Amino acid sequence: MSIYQKPVHSVEMDLAGRKLTLTTGHYALQASGAVTASLGDTVVLCTGMMSSKPREGTDFFPLMVDYEEKYYATGKISGSRFIKREGRPSEEAVLNSRLIDRPIRPLFPKGFRNDVQVICTVLSADMEVHPGTTAMIGASAALQVAGMPMEAPISGIRIGMIDGEFIVNPTYEQAESGDLNLVVAGTEDAIMMVEAEAKEVTDEKMLEALELAHTYIKQICQLQKELIAKVNPTPLPYEITAKDDSAIEMVRGVVSDDELDAVKGELKKDYKDRLHELEDKVLEKFAAQIEAEEVSAGAIKEAVSTIVEKRTRDNILTKGIRLDGRKTDEVRPIFVEVGVLPRTHGSGLFQRGETQVLNICTLGGPGAAQIVDTMDQDVTRRYMHHYNFPGYSVGEVKPMRSPGRREIGHGYLAEKALLAVLPDPKDFPYTMRLVSEVLSCNGSSSMGSVCGSTLSLMDAGVPLKAPVSGIAMGLVTNDDGSQYKILTDIQGMEDFGGDMDLKVAGTVNGITALQMDIKLKGLKMELLREAIGQANKGRDDILNSMLAVIAEPRTALSPFAPVIESMMIDPDKIREVIGKGGETIQAIVKESGAEIDITQDGQVNITAPNREAANVAMDMIKGIVVDPEPGTDYEATVMKVMEFGVFVEFLPGKQGLVHVSKLSKEFMKDVADKYKVGDKLKVRLEGIDDKGRYNLSALPFLA
């Protein structure tokens, strides 16, 4: 009996100095499509599966993408003492799953309802270049070789920048230390998705990076086409769930343009109420047909929504009229407030239209930083942003769950937007946790979180290098793409019914974060250039509204924030501060009530609940690391009483002998008659012998 095998096909190319290889037919033989994508020593197995029938009762494309980190890929065992098996995906894995999902989803046919599952398993990682874009390339190839109805292959590339020079597929270190960490995905024809973290990069430089990325995307898409041609896959059969055009024609015949134009309003509730009023009118007109089951009430409602959406898009394109009456480049009214919570370290409320975000800043010591244990090297996060999106924020009833992909993705985007302007840890050693509570949402709560973060950080007294604001841009096009309108500050309906969601955050000097998703088959560079330029004006308007309330960070921290003092010591003295088995540092913590963190280069950070506790800990550490100088007087504590004198501790961890002859000018028959352990006395350091022993004299003897 022979081993079951498939024909193995492979293609390869040079990608910025590393060999990119795509192989199919070797692994996962029962998957609809399976491709092993390799870049250098990084190997990712990407599989694609499609159900044979559409999912019933579904009005969306049920695509599932999972990016699986495996600790063995980097030769690592989980740092947890109790759990060694991979469990729930890390935030990094969730973000990579989203990166792969977003450019693939728009390329499947409208009305496609079959379940599609993509699993990208990192089998080996070289710890030099991030595997995320390699997984994206492999996922696209796997769907293509499976014969799924994906319109065209997509590819992804990461671009870094150091000293103004672009780096294709930067290493982890280059991406982190450089001025740009950009991931771009697209087809041969256009860009589909953008995700960027930047250090105040100019629009022109960002656009140059996008153009460079697209040149590589084209090459990688061609490589996938070579693989597809070798495989020559048989297209998988599928059905399209089409909208009921007959219902649309019925509704269109009884609804006037004036009635359609009446479905509008500054508030989401106004829009929904008028939409429901129109639905009720139309349902009443077709009551007999519904009763006779010639058409369903659901089909009529869906037809009304479709026609209203089409009319809304037409009004924007032809008249420049939006649902709430704004101009295409106009930002909704803004309300800003800071210091809204009495006991938090910093708080800010940012409201734009109906979108309302309350952001809270909490400060902690360096020891409060988060250690992230993933497949890659462990990292420490001193700045964290968490985003919460409860059901009431959109007027819904839904159970409270742990953070989902939306919460993680939006939180990470807002986090990236502020990283470039945070103070250096040596100047401001605090750990910062930001939480955005979305209290109400009608579009772009992630950018509201960016603005709220700036407000609460400034309210907390964090010395930001520059304030950051953010805005979401939209796009409406006609069927053939010959007409378009770019929309500033999109609200919920414009996001849902529009063709693009472009989020831009930054300072007056440049972009700090960028994210783009589109529902079209791609976006031309000229249009993207225009959209980013229009976003700048909106960001400036928002930032001016914020600065009118709080122009700069407060000069003093909240009285409820911990006090942090920093000092540099000789790294050779670290062992003395810690003490044998940690006994010295534990004693300092116990006596002072402060937390102490020491870095390898000798920076000591003292986190205390108040100034007094910080000073106690600071003095105790100085006493350990400062070399005693002969002739200096000290307050000492008797540690041991002997017949020939007393041993005293005159500085933390430093003891010396006061001989009986130097305790007093008067004859002392028995030292124990006058001194006992714990007594205090003033001493003077007379000298240090060649063995490092301290010779002390009591001040009464010297008097």
Is the pLDDT at 652 greater than 80? The verdict is no
The number of beta carbons lying within 10 Å of the beta carbon of residue 175 is: 22
Q: Which residue pairs, CB below 8 angstroms and at least 24 apart, start in 581-590?
A: 584/624, 584/652, 584/653, 587/652, 588/617, 588/620, 588/621, 588/652, 589/617
Higher pLDDT among residues 453 and 690, named by residue: 453
pLDDT of residue 475: 92
Is the pLDDT at 445 greater than 70? The verdict is yes
For the record, the structure tokens of 637 come out as 């504590």
Range among 28-32, 266-270, 402-406 with highest mean pLDDT value: 28-32
pLDDT digits (tens, 9 = 90+) for 520-557: 776 778 888 999 999 999 999 999 999 999 999 999 99
Tell me the mean pLDDT in the region 377-398: 90
Is the pLDDT at 439 greater than 80? The verdict is yes
Cβ(358)–Cβ(390) below 8 Å: no
For the record, the structure tokens of 521 come out as 């088959």
pLDDT of residue 703: 54
Which residue, chain included where needed, has tokens 């040149």?
A: 215
pLDDT of residue 622: 85
What distances in angstroms separate CA 382 from CA 69, 81, 364, 379, 597, one per listed residue? Answer: 23, 23, 9, 10, 13
Integer Cα distance of 522 and 532 in angstroms? 16
Cβ(23)–Cβ(36) below 8 Å: yes
Tell me the mean pLDDT in the region 175-201: 95
Residue 82: alpha-carbon gap to chain centroid: 27
Can you name the CATH fold of 9-231?
Ribosomal Protein S5; domain 2 (3.30.230)
* Three-state SS letters, 98-123: HHHHHHHHHHCCCCECEEEEEEEEEE
Residue 670: alpha-carbon gap to chain centroid: 70
Is the pLDDT at 451 greater than 80? The verdict is yes
pLDDT digits (tens, 9 = 90+) for 126-174: 999 999 999 999 999 999 999 999 999 999 999 999 999 999 999 999 9
For the record, the structure tokens of 298 come out as 């659901």
Is the pLDDT at 1 greater than 60? The verdict is no
φ and ψ at 676, to 5 degrees?
-140, 165
pLDDT grade for 702, boundaries at 50, 70 and 90: low
Give the orientation angle of helix 405-419 with respect to helix 91-104, to 10 degrees.
Answer: 100
Is the pLDDT at 481 greater than 80? The verdict is no
Please give the order of strands across the beta sheet that includes 33-39: 9-15, 18-24, 33-39, 42-54, 114-124, 63-68
pLDDT over 90, % of the chain:
56
Of 358-372, 632-646, 652-666, 683-697, give the lowest mean pLDDT range. 652-666
pLDDT grade for 670, boundaries at 50, 70 and 90: confident
pLDDT of residue 166: 97
pLDDT digits (tens, 9 = 90+) for 279-299: 899 898 888 888 888 888 888
Integer Cα distance of 477 and 495 in angstroms? 13
Tell me the mean pLDDT in the region 471-485: 87
pLDDT digits (tens, 9 = 90+) for 68-105: 999 999 888 887 788 888 888 889 999 999 999 999 99
Strands (E), 339-446: 346-352, 355-364, 370-372, 379-381, 383-388, 431-440
Tell me the mean pLDDT in the region 460-474: 96
Can you name the CATH fold of 334-547?
Ribosomal Protein S5; domain 2 (3.30.230)
Is the pLDDT at 449 greater than 70? The verdict is yes
pLDDT of residue 690: 82
Can you name the CATH fold of 633-702?
OB fold (Dihydrolipoamide Acetyltransferase, E2P) (2.40.50)
Which residue, chain included where needed, has tokens 């699986």?
A: 68
Q: Which residue pairs, CB below 8 angstroms and at least 24 apart, start in 612-618?
A: 613/563, 614/563, 614/564, 614/565, 615/565, 616/591, 616/592, 617/565, 617/588, 617/589, 617/592, 618/565, 618/567
Please give the order of strands across the beta sheet that includes 563-568: 563-568, 603-608, 595-598
Is the pLDDT at 643 greater than 90? The verdict is no
The number of beta carbons lying within 10 Å of the beta carbon of residue 325 is: 10
Integer Cα distance of 626 and 654 in angstroms? 11
DSSP element (H, E) containing 473: strand 469-477
Of 52-61, 123-132, 367-376, 452-461, give the lowest mean pLDDT range. 367-376
pLDDT over 70, % of the chain:
99
The number of beta carbons lying within 10 Å of the beta carbon of residue 512 is: 26
The number of beta carbons lying within 10 Å of the beta carbon of residue 565 is: 17
Is the pLDDT at 400 greater than 60? The verdict is yes
Is the pLDDT at 263 greater than 60? The verdict is yes
Helices (H), 108-202: 132-145, 172-177
Integer Cα distance of 434 and 220 in angstroms? 39
Is the pLDDT at 505 greater than 90? The verdict is yes
Q: What is the mean pLDDT of the chain?
A: 91
Strands (E), 110-227: 114-124, 155-162, 165-168, 180-186, 191-201
Q: Which residues pair with 356 in a beta bridge?
A: 351, 440
pLDDT of residue 132: 95
Can you name the CATH fold of 563-625?
Ribosomal Protein S8; Chain: A, domain 1 (3.30.1370)
By CB atoms closer than 10 A (0-12, 13-18, 19+), residue 403 is: middle
pLDDT of residue 583: 87
Residue 16's SS3 state is coil
Q: Which residues pair with 618 in a beta bridge?
A: none
For the record, the structure tokens of 443 come out as 């579009």
Classify strands 155-162 and 18-24 as parallel, antiparallel or unpaired.
Answer: unpaired
CA-nearest of 185, 196, 158 to 505 is 196
pLDDT of residue 107: 94
By CB atoms closer than 10 A (0-12, 13-18, 19+), residue 1 is: exposed
